[in-house]
Amino acid sequence: MKTAKPAPHDHGHPHHEHGGDDHAHDGVAPASIGAALEMAEVYCRERGEKLTPIRRKVLELLLASGRATKAYSLLDEMRQIHPGSAPPTVYRALDFLLSAGLVHRIESINAFAVCHDLTQCQHGILVVCQQCGNVTELHEPRLRQALVAQIEAAGYRLEGDGIELKGVCAQCRAAEPVQAAGVDIKAAAQSS
C-alpha cells in the first residue's frame, strides 16, 4: 500500500504493494502508515470490531516491513516494544487481521502481508518472490474466475480464497547476474 487512500483498481495491471519496485525502500512512509492505520480503524469500527492496540501494532509492523513477514519475526519486533509478548498474542492478532481481510497469509513462505487495499480486500492472485518476500497482488477478476473454473473442472475444490504464484521478482533477478559475475571474478582470480 503506497497511498493513504485506496486507489481504484486498474484491472489491467498488476498492483505492487509489498516492497514495490525499489528494494532500497522496505516499507511504507510513516505518514502513509498512520493514514493506513486510521483507515483500518475506521473499517473495523464500521464492521463492529475493534482494532486493539496489539492488533494495530502488528498491522503497523507489517506496513512498515513492506513485504511478507513471518509471525516469529513479528513476535521478535513486538518483544522489543512489549517484552512480555508471547506467540499466542501475535497469532491472535494475525487471526483477527486475516478474518477482517486486512492481511493475507502467504502459504508458500509461511508469512503474512498487508492487503493492498485495507478496506476492500478482493482476494486477487498473489505473486510471491521466493527470495525476498516481495508480494504483488494482481486483480484480474476474469483471470481468477477462469482459473477457478479450470481447477473445479479438474475435480478440485479450492481450500481458501488465496491463489499464490511463486516466482522471483525483477529486483532479485537483476541482482543474480551481479552475484554470479562476482563469484566468477573471484574464481578466476584464485585460479591465476
Question: Of the ranges 42-51, 123-132, 144-153, which one carries the lowest mean pLDDT score?
Answer: 123-132
Quickly tell me which residue has 502513509 as its cell.
32
CATH code of the region 15-191: 1.10.10.10
Q: Which three cell numbers stand for residue 30?
A: 510513516
How far is 73 from 132, CA to CA, in rounded Å?
A: 14
DSSP 154: T
* Residue % of the chain over a pLDDT of 70: 72
Among 80, 100, 101, 78, which residue's Cα sits nearest to residue 88? 78
Q: Which three cell numbers stand for residue 165?
A: 504464484
Q: Is 20 helix (H, G, I), strand (E, B) or coil?
A: coil
Q: Is 39 helix (H, G, I), strand (E, B) or coil?
A: helix
Residue 115 pLDDT level (bands cut at 50, 70, 90): confident
Label the pairing between strands 163-167 and 125-129: parallel
Q: Is 106 exposed, middle or buried (0-12, 13-18, 19+ CB in 10 A)?
A: buried
Query: Residue 30 above 60 pLDDT?
Result: yes
